[in-house]
Chains A and B, each alone.
Chain A
Amino acid sequence: MTVQDQLLIDLRLDGDRAVLSLRGELDLASAPLLQAEIESSQISSAAMLVLDLQELKFIDSTGLRVLLAAHESSRERGQQFAVTRGSPQVQRLLSITGVGEHIRIISPDDETLV
């Protein structure tokens, strides 16, 4: 399985909001794909960045680190940042590391964001 098959990333621009949907596994092998996507200019110009984790089956600490870095660069450029809930494994890792407490978690159909 190639890294591209392991993690599928879909970018959707929805008004002022950039939504990156992640599907598959975000780990040591696939984290650089997300890192590159987050650095793209389409995302940095949006008022809000949402990482949609609903279809993300697995995440490890390297994936978590990319999430935190995305959160940090959003904050630096005055951009809102949020994630949607992921699989039980994703939620569990967010919880035991305490990362979930520092990141805004929204419902996928939340329209009151921007």
Chain B
Amino acid sequence: MLVRQMLAGVAEAVELDANDLNDISTAVTEACNNVVLHAYAGAEGPLEVEVHVLPDSVEVVVRDHGGGIPPAIRPATQTNGIGLSVIKALAQRADFRVGPLDSGTEVRMTFATPQARALEPFDEDELEPGAEIAAETAGAIEITVAPAPLAWAILPRLLSALAARAHFRTDGIADIQLVADALTATVPASISGSHLNIAISVEPRDLELRIAPLIAGHAQHLIVDSPEGGLGPLIAKLTSSQRVATLASSDDEMLALRLHDRR
């Protein structure tokens, strides 16, 4: 499950204890199960997961926009009865919020993690440190990560998991790992602002990665040969197409890379 990959990436970045990660993964899985089973009456719909890393705790919010029966008032069947009691047992605090009709439900869980490493300080008016994942369908996810360096713990794991899901062969997955490593080495100096948006869409043996916002003029440099050397040629060689676009809202840029399994 992708959400567990994301959590493992966050855990690695903040040096979370393995038992804490297990508890968080278990509770978050139960909250996501609840969405999958009940929110959209069997159909697909958006599932949003936000992870916030706070000084002594990790907060995870799982949200849907469905019209399903909220967990708090649903008669306890065997499954969701166990799932909810698991969440309550593992989280230090769990709040279940039910919006007005058809506006979905939200489960907000706080886990005490006193031994986790604090992330770099950030401005108060910027995003809370953490990651936010929004999966509209099985084939596309969008993640917002703050502070941006946290992305480098999450991106390689997500790309590998998605590539395996898209039936890439071992060679193709190895190529994707190289691209993720190259981006990890070069993109941090080009990020515009304190957070990074990552969007990945998946089709059989084909994967598109979009990252933004990048400083104006920087995206092109990431994928071409530069006098200072760099990994641009490697990224260009391992991806089947590269595209740079200017964001509508600012001068910032978006880099889109397409990875195709060369079967």
Please list the residues of chain A having a beta carbon within 8 angstroms of any beta carbon in chain B.
Answer: 1-2, 5, 25, 27-29, 58, 60-62, 64-65, 88-89, 92-93, 96-97
Q: Which B residues are in CB contact (< 8 Å) with A64?
A: 82
> Which residue from chain B places its CB closest to the CB of A6 in the assembled complex?
B1
Q: Is the CB of A61 within 8 A of B1?
A: no
Q: A60-B26, A65-B78, A92-B26 are in contact. Are A28 and B33 (CB under 8 A)?
A: yes
Q: Is the CB of A61 within 8 A of B25?
A: no
Q: Is the CB of B164 within 8 A of A1?
A: yes
Q: Which B residues are in CB contact (< 8 Å) with A96?
A: 86, 89-90
Q: Is the CB of B82 within 8 A of A65?
A: yes
Q: A1-B164, A27-B29, A96-B90 are in contact. Are A61 and B79 (CB under 8 A)?
A: yes
Give a binary string over B62-85; 1 marks a CB under 8 Å from any A CB, 0 the rest: 000000000000000011001101
Please list the residues of chain B having a beta carbon within 8 angstroms of any beta carbon in chain A.
Answer: 1, 4, 18-19, 22-23, 25-26, 29-30, 33, 36-37, 78-79, 82-83, 85-86, 89-90, 161, 164-165, 167
One of B33, B78, B161 near A60 (C-beta < 8 A): B33
Known: A27-B1, A62-B79. 14 other contacts (CB 8 A): A1-B165, A2-B165, A28-B29, A58-B4, A58-B25, A58-B26, A60-B29, A60-B30, A61-B86, A65-B79, A65-B82, A89-B26, A96-B86, A96-B90
Closest chain B CB from A102 CB (angstroms): 13
Q: Which B residues are in CB contact (< 8 Å) with A29?
A: 1
